[in-house]
Amino acid sequence: MQAAGVIEFTLAFALIWTPLVRRTSAIILAAIFVSAVFEFGKVDAIGHSGIIVVLLGIAADNARATARVRDAAWAPAYYCGALAIFLALYYVGHEALYEGLVGLPVI
């Protein structure tokens, strides 16, 4: 599950990159959401339909942009920073909601 989460985060992060990477990421994410419908049914189809429509719109976008080498060199740093911020917010939010129960075994 952690690997799947990292893959989904990486694909979501790729949505803000160059048009080719953005389109490819949108298609892969849409395929993941559509394949989840077969496993989990109608409720999942209803919940993910808005996301799937937006991802298909991103995949159909024909915008052109060039990526400079300098920007591409900073991509790993941007990715690590975004992941670190996301994880920090997740654990701080969990700590706030569940009042210090992070890391304690459930009895």
- Digitized pLDDT (tens) for each residue of the chain, 107 residues in all: 778 888 888 898 888 888 888 999 999 999 999 998 888 888 888 988 999 999 999 999 887 777 676 777 788 888 899 889 988 998 888 888 887 655 555 55
pLDDT on residue 105: 56
- pTM, two decimal places: 0.69
pLDDT on residue 90: 87
How far are the Cα atoms of 20, 28, 39, 67, 70 from residue 49, in angstroms, in the given order? 23, 15, 15, 31, 37
pLDDT on residue 106: 53
Distance CA 34, CA 52 (A): 8
